[in-house]
Amino acid sequence: MLSQAMGAMLPAALAVALSPFPVIGIVLILSGAHGRRNGLLFAAGWITGLTITATVVALLFGGADDPDSTSSAIADWGRVVAGTAFLVLGVRTWWKRPRAGEQAQPPRWMSSLDDVTAGRALLLGALLSGANPKNLVLTASAATSIAEAGAHDVGLVAAVAVFVLIASCTVLGAVAVHLVGGRRGASFLDGVRRFMVANSTVITVIVLLLLGAGVLGDGLSGIGR
């Protein structure tokens, strides 16, 4: 059951981890004033948001391991809706991509992250992980997969913990590099930030299309059972 749950939630966990904007945000926070403190607080908020969202959804769909249950039907139809939305969003993101000669720009809310306060760093981490619509759907999809795999009690806790760890690996990795990497670490993180800014559209589109197709396929398969 546990291995099945982990396998089912892995794609969504990787999609959360590879989302460009949280990576760009944590690098900007780390490079600013009180970067070490604020980076740790951002990571704490990020982990908290993911954990709460995944746990709540997994508990709500606790009976989804029964294919004939209402929870299972809701989960399958939810996947169809979510998968379709991901595909549409992926196409829309590609359509609105920067054209040749234009430079990709991060969202405006990132402009003041270099001097963010401790409270805002913590809140921002929680909001980007737990309240961001795309991450919310991804986390809900992963948690539903965990519930459908029949993970309960210790297995449920372990599966949610693994999901949070994988989904947080880029944020935690950035904090670790900043803490131990010194100037080389800072240079590396700045390179990662510039790469993410320049290629955020391509990364986002690939993640959305691949995950959308997978989630939609799983939903349609479940409905057809």
- Report the mean per-residue pLDDT for the chain: 82
| Better pLDDT: 119 or 9 | 119
Give mean pLDDT, residues 190-219: 82
Q: pLDDT per residue over 15-71, tens digit each?
A: 888 888 888 888 888 887 788 899 999 999 999 999 999 988 888 877 666 666 777
Helices within the chain (DSSP H only): 2-17, 20-31, 35-60, 70-95, 118-126, 133-148, 154-167, 169-223
- The pLDDT, as a whole number, for residue 108 is 66
- The pLDDT, as a whole number, for residue 170 is 93
Domain count, the chain: 1
Question: Residues for the chain: how many in total?
Answer: 225
Give mean pLDDT, residues 197-216: 82
pTM above 0.95, yes or no: no
Dist. CA 125–CA 119, nearest whole Å: 10
* Banded model confidence at residue 163, pLDDT cuts 50, 70, 90: very high
Domain that holds residue 161: 2-223
Q: pLDDT per residue over 102-161, tens digit each?
A: 666 666 666 667 678 889 999 999 988 888 888 888 888 888 888 777 767 787 888 889
Helices 154-167 and 35-60 sit at what angle, rounded to 10 degrees? 140
